[in-house]
Structure 1
């Protein structure tokens, strides 16, 4: 099911997240491959929310535990590598906490992978043992596109997909 109308009101947005969360869980049921799960989740969320301009994962690099490397995503070209602590993705990885940024141009150290990005949300992704394995990054071309509803639902979807 594709969602074409923008969910502007928090109740509408939460309802859409609840719907897509169940769709994602159904599609991912029984799939053990983490990359397949990430690619599918990115695709389904990008399709569900038209405001999502760039939607995808940066994986913790196994060789360099303090660096992220681009993973499955939907959108324009992403940055290939991001050190922990740098930009919104690096902050989410270093702090292991979701970052909601209403205006990326006001965020200290923002990395402009695409100059059209105006706001961003990045959530850490943990495996079943609680180890950070990635961050999930969503950019929008408008300011103030993300809020606590997005943070809560993305965290819930990611937890169900990767830590359950």
Structure 2
């Protein structure tokens, strides 16, 4: 049974608690949609100053909207387009301090000012990306990046 634990301590300690909670949520579940849904809900509960968190999943040469928390979003994103498509094409995390300065940014929510996109990889294959938007410029730092990369690595084990 999953139990919500309170977040306390420094940022890394809080992320470690989230990782523990993620494992508790997904370790006995084999359904990808259920695990992605709970993962996005967990991050939405944990992260402050965000306005969208969710997943885009690989579908051929594009990403298609998966489970998320937030306003309705763009459904399909070609590889190489916007922050999500670029992250998927390059298979690397992109941390964008000001989305309005990112060439080809796709504005699904006009309130978004910064974004982090983390590829979800399993056995060398791209499954999709974790996308998190914030209405605050410069919201995401190197700690967020490192810990969210650990989050997606752990999640991918259960997809």
* TM-score of the aligned structures, taking structure 1 as reference length: 0.89
Aligned to 1:149: 143
Given that 2:54 and 2:132 are in contact with CA atoms closer than 8 Å, whether structure 1 keeps it comes out as: yes
Aligned to 1:159: 153
| 2:114 paired with 1:116 | no
Q: Deviations over 1:102-149 (max 9, x none)?
A: 00001011000011000000000012x221010000000000000111
In structure 1, C-alpha distance between the alignment counterparts of 2:145 and 2:66, rounded to whole Å: 20
Given that 1:124 and 1:132 are in contact with CA atoms closer than 8 Å, whether structure 2 keeps it comes out as: yes
Given that 1:58 and 1:71 are in contact with CA atoms closer than 8 Å, whether structure 2 keeps it comes out as: yes
Give the gaps of 5 or more residues in structure 1: 6-10
Give the count of matched residue pairs: 155
In structure 2, C-alpha distance between the alignment counterparts of 1:2 and 1:140, rounded to whole Å: 24
Q: Secondary structure at the match of 1:108?
A: coil
* TM-score of the aligned structures, taking structure 2 as reference length: 0.92
Q: Secondary structure at the match of 1:145?
A: coil
In structure 1, C-alpha distance between the alignment counterparts of 2:44 and 2:97, rounded to whole Å: 19
Q: Secondary structure at the match of 2:145?
A: helix
Q: Secondary structure at the match of 1:125?
A: strand
Given that 2:117 and 2:130 are in contact with CA atoms closer than 8 Å, whether structure 1 keeps it comes out as: yes
Aligned to 1:21: 19
1:163 is displaced (CA, Å) by: 3.3
Give the gaps of 5 or more residues in structure 2: none
